[in-house]
Amino acid sequence: MIHAVYDINNCKRVVQASPAQIMAAMRETCRLLGNTARSELIETFQPHGVTCVLVLAESHIVVTTWPEFGLAHVDVFTCRSDSDPDGAVRPILELLGGTVALAGRVNRLALPTPAAV
């Protein structure tokens, strides 16, 4: 399992990026991870900002923006250990026009092997 988190600052295009465009970039990230999208949720805030959630068969991708600060947080969690979230998150970075200020991995327990039936 891989749980990668990214703090993105200097997001020059976050104000212009619509929630639908953010979700499209998240779908591309999902594709690059080799994952399967299952459900989407977009929650917009007033006066600005958005949280977009893409539920995957393998877990989730979440993007939250703070346009007034040029900031976004990205959370990529997948049960597939053969994927590369650092490369797959590029569509989101390109859309927002920011740079990764902090990146990290959250250690997660591996799923146990199912008992034979």
Specify burial of residue 62 (Cβ count, 10 A radius: 0-12, 13-18, 19+).
Answer: middle
Residue 8 lies in a domain: yes
Q: Which domain holds residue 23?
A: 2-105
Q: Which structure tokens are listed for 87?
A: 């490369």
Query: What stretch of H or E contains 40?
Result: strand 37-44
Six-digit token string for 52? 């977009």
CB 10 within 8 A of CB 70: yes
Percent of residues in the chain assigned helix, strand, coil, to nearest 5: 25, 40, 35
Query: 38-91 pLDDT, tens per residue?
Result: 999 999 999 999 999 999 999 999 999 999 999 999 999 999 888 899 999 999
Q: Is 37 inside a domain boundary? A: yes
What CATH number is given to the structural domain containing 86? 3.60.90.10
Q: Is 116 a member of any domain?
A: no
The pTM of this model reads 0.91
pLDDT of residue 30: 97
H helix runs in the chain, sequence order? 19-33, 85-88, 90-96
Task: Let me know if residue 89 belongs to a domain.
Answer: yes
Chain segment 19-53, per-residue pLDDT in tens: 999 999 999 999 999 999 999 999 999 999 999 99
pLDDT at 117 over 60: no
Contact 14, 67 (CB under 8 A): yes
The number of folded domains in the chain is 1
Q: Would 19 be classed as within a structural domain?
A: yes
